[in-house]
Amino acid sequence: MPLIPDLLYETRAIARSLIDYSAGAHVRLGVTGLSRAGKTIFITALIEHLTKATSPAMRGRKNTLPVFRVHAEGRLIGGALEPQPDDDVPRFAYEDHIDALAGPGGRPEARHWPQSTRRISEMRLRLAFQQKGGLRPGRHFLTLDIVDYPGEWLLDLPLLTKSFAQWSKESFAAASSAARAPLAAQWRGFAAQNDPKAKFIESEARQAAELFTAYLRACRAEEFGFSSLPPGRFLMPGDLAGSPALTFAPLAVEPNDVFPPNSLAAMMERRYEAYKAHVVKPFFRDHFSRLDRQIVLVDALAALNAGPAAIRDLEVALADVLTAFRAGRSNILSALFRPKIDRILFAATKADHLHHTSHDRLEAILRQLTAKAIARVEGVGAEVDVIALAAVRATREAKVDGHGGPALEAVIGTPIEGERIGGEIFDGKTEAAIFPGELPADPKAVFRDPAGAPPPPDIDYRFVRFRPPIVARAADGTALPAPHIRLDRALQFLIGDKMT
C-alpha cells in the first residue's frame, strides 16, 4: 500500500480513538456469522434487554439477565440508544425488527421473524452503571457500538493475497468435489466453452458471473448448507447488488499465463482486482480493524440437519473466517490493517430448538467445530469462548408420551407454516410438541459420514423452525423482552469486564 494513504489512515484511526477515549469507556462489538446464523435476532434481543432490564415495566419481575454481573449486583442503572458514530453506515433497523417480532400494528397473530442481515449496519447504546469498588464511586458510562456485518465478507480476506489465476484454480478445484460437482455442472460447462484469451464480450462475462453465482447460491441452499464460498459479496452483495464490480468469474487459466489486452481473461482479472481494491480492502480497513470485541454466530443446527459434508464445510468456513482475526499480526496484510480484537465469542444459535439436556452437547459440538479456527488465533492475545444460546426463545419444554418407552424430552412451540415432520405439515397457527432428538454425546460423531462409517446409534435429530413467541406485556402495555437462553452469559463475556 502506498505510504500516503497509510499515513492518512493512521491519522484518522488516532483521531477516532481520541474521540472514543474522551467519551469514556467504549467497546466496539462486531456481530457476525454466515447468512441466517441469527445476527439480526441476537442484536435486537441484546438491545431490548439492555434498554429495558432496569425499566419500570421490569420492576418486581424476575431478573432476566442473572449471569450479567453488573445487573445481578444491582449496579446497572440503564441503557439508552444514542446517535451512531458513523454517518456513512446504515443504522441497525432495531425498531422495525421489534415491530416484526411483536406483530405489525400490535397484532400478535401477524408476528414474524424480521428481515435478516444483508449489509453492514450499526447502532450505539450508552449504558449507565455504578462502579463496584470505592475508588471512583458514582455513575459511570460504557458506550457500546454494535456493528452487524455478514460473515461472508470475512471469507474474502484470503483473496487479498491471491492472484486471479490462483483464485480461479482453487475455485475450479473446490467445484469438482463430489458434493459440489453436480451443483457446479452448468457453470463449469459454460466455462469449458470460453476461451480465456478470446476477445472480451460483456454478455459472456455476465453469463459466467450469473452461473457462478447460481452455483454458490445452490451450495448455500438449505439442503446442502455449504458455507465456505468466496467471494462473499456474490452471496451477500449489500449495496453492490447488480453492480459491475461483481461481474466476474473464475476462468481456466494458469498462474503464469499472459493475457492479450481486451481478452476475456484480462477483463475478468481487472474486475477481480477492482473487487479486491474497492470492496474488500475498504471493509477491512474502515470497519473490521476498528472492532474491539467480536461474537461469531453459528447455525450449527442447520449444518447438523444437512449432514456431515455440511458440518465439515462449516468447519472450513469458520477457520477461514478466523484467519481475518489473525491477519495483520504476522503477514503481508499488516500493511492494510491491524485488528485489535481481544475477545471472541463463538455462539451456536437457536438452542431453543433443543431440550436443555442437549444444550451442553450443542456447545461441545461447536467447540469441536471451531477447534481448528481457535488454534489459528492462539498467540494473538485474544480470549476465546464458546457457548450455545437462543437470543429469542420460541419454545418451552415438556415431557411427552414415549409410546411405551420412557417419556420423551420435547419442546413446544408454533412451527412456521409449511414446516413438516414425516407426513405432518404445520399450519403456522397451532402449537406442537416436537421431540427434536438428542445430539450425540461424542461431538466428533457429527463429522462422520454415514456412507463411510456406520452412523453412531445416537444420531437422530430433526429440527423445525418455529414462529417467534408472543410478546408478553406489562400492565402499562410496555412490551417485555422475550425469554432467552444464555444471552446473559454472552453479555458477561463480551462487556461484563468493562462494567466492574
Report the C-alpha gap between 270 and 205 in whole angstroms: 12
- Comparing C-alpha atoms, which of 202, 158, 146, 446 is closest to residue 308? 446
By rule CB under 6 A, what string of x and - marks binding of each residue 339-358 to ligand GDP?
A: ----------xx-x------
Q: How far is CA 89 from the centre of its chain?
A: 18
Report the C-alpha gap between 175 and 171 in whole angstroms: 6
> What's the full length of the chain, in residues?
500
Q: Is 119 in the site for ligand GDP (CB under 6 A)?
A: no
Give the nearest distance from C-beta 409 to ligand GDP in angstroms. Answer: 17
Task: Number of residues interacting with ligand GDP: please give it, by CB under 6 A.
Answer: 20
Residue from 219, 321, 394, 491 that binds ligand GDP (CB under 6 A)?
394
Q: Is 490 in the site for ligand GDP (CB under 6 A)?
A: no
Residue from 26, 29, 30, 41 that binds ligand GDP (CB under 6 A)?
41
Q: Is-contact 342 382, C-beta < 8 A?
A: yes
**Which residues are within 8 A (CB) of 82 and not within 5 positions of it... i.e. 6 or more apart?**
124, 125, 126, 143
Q: Is 36 in the site for ligand GDP (CB under 6 A)?
A: yes
- Distance (Å) of CA 320 to CA 277, 367, 380: 20, 16, 16
Give the nearest distance from C-beta 414 to ligand GDP in angstroms. Answer: 11
Q: Which stretch binds ligand GDP (CB under 6 A): 35-43, 131-139, 278-286, 431-439?
A: 35-43
Give the nearest distance from C-beta 165 to ligand GDP in angstroms. Answer: 33
Q: Is 38 in the site for ligand GDP (CB under 6 A)?
A: yes
Q: Is-contact 36 30, C-beta < 8 A?
A: no
Q: Is-contact 415 427, C-beta < 8 A?
A: no
- Comparing C-alpha atoms, which of 340, 357, 335, 359 is closest to residue 349? 359
Residue with Cβ nearer ligand GDP (230 or 415) = 415
Q: Which stretch binds ligand GDP (CB under 6 A): 31-39, 122-130, 284-292, 306-314?
A: 31-39
Give the nearest distance from C-beta 110 to ligand GDP in angstroms. Answer: 15
Q: How far is CA 494 from the centre of its chain?
A: 16
By rule CB under 6 A, what string of x and - marks binding of each residue 302-341 to ligand GDP?
A: ----------------------------------------
| Cα atoms in the 13 Å half-sphere on the side-chain side of 230 | 23
Residue from 51, 54, 55, 116 that binds ligand GDP (CB under 6 A)?
116
Q: Which stretch binds ligand GDP (CB under 6 A): 74-82, 100-108, 247-255, 388-396?
A: 388-396
**In which residue are the cell numbers 419442546 written?**
411
Q: Is 235 in the site for ligand GDP (CB under 6 A)?
A: no
Quick one: angle between helices 308-326 and 359-377, nearest 10?
40
Report the C-alpha gap between 412 and 469 in whole angstroms: 11
Q: Which stretch binds ligand GDP (CB under 6 A): 46-54, 325-333, 391-399, 433-441?
A: 391-399
Residue 110: count of CB within 10 angstroms of its CB? 11
Q: Is 390 in the site for ligand GDP (CB under 6 A)?
A: yes
- Comparing C-alpha atoms, which of 279, 274, 327, 359 is closest to residue 119? 279
Q: Is 64 in the site for ligand GDP (CB under 6 A)?
A: no
Q: Is-contact 482 45, C-beta < 8 A?
A: yes
Residue with Cβ nearer ligand GDP (359 or 448) = 359
In what helix (H) or strand (E) does residue 433 lie, and over which residues does it extend? Answer: strand 432-434
Q: Is 186 in the site for ligand GDP (CB under 6 A)?
A: no
Residue from 28, 40, 328, 362 that binds ligand GDP (CB under 6 A)?
40
Q: Is-contact 317 228, C-beta < 8 A?
A: yes
Q: Is 392 in the site for ligand GDP (CB under 6 A)?
A: yes
Residue from 113, 164, 224, 426 that binds ligand GDP (CB under 6 A)?
113
Q: Is 414 in the site for ligand GDP (CB under 6 A)?
A: no
Q: Is 39 in the site for ligand GDP (CB under 6 A)?
A: yes
Q: Which stretch binds ligand GDP (CB under 6 A): 32-40, 227-235, 247-255, 448-456?
A: 32-40
Residue with Cβ nearer ligand GDP (100 or 268) = 100
Q: Is 465 in the site for ligand GDP (CB under 6 A)?
A: yes
Q: Long-range contacts: 1-6, Cβ < 8 Å, 24+?
A: 1/335, 1/336, 6/335
Residue with Cβ nearer ligand GDP (268 or 362) = 362
Residues that bind ligand GDP (CB under 6 A): 33, 35-41, 113, 116-117, 349-350, 352, 390-392, 394, 465-466
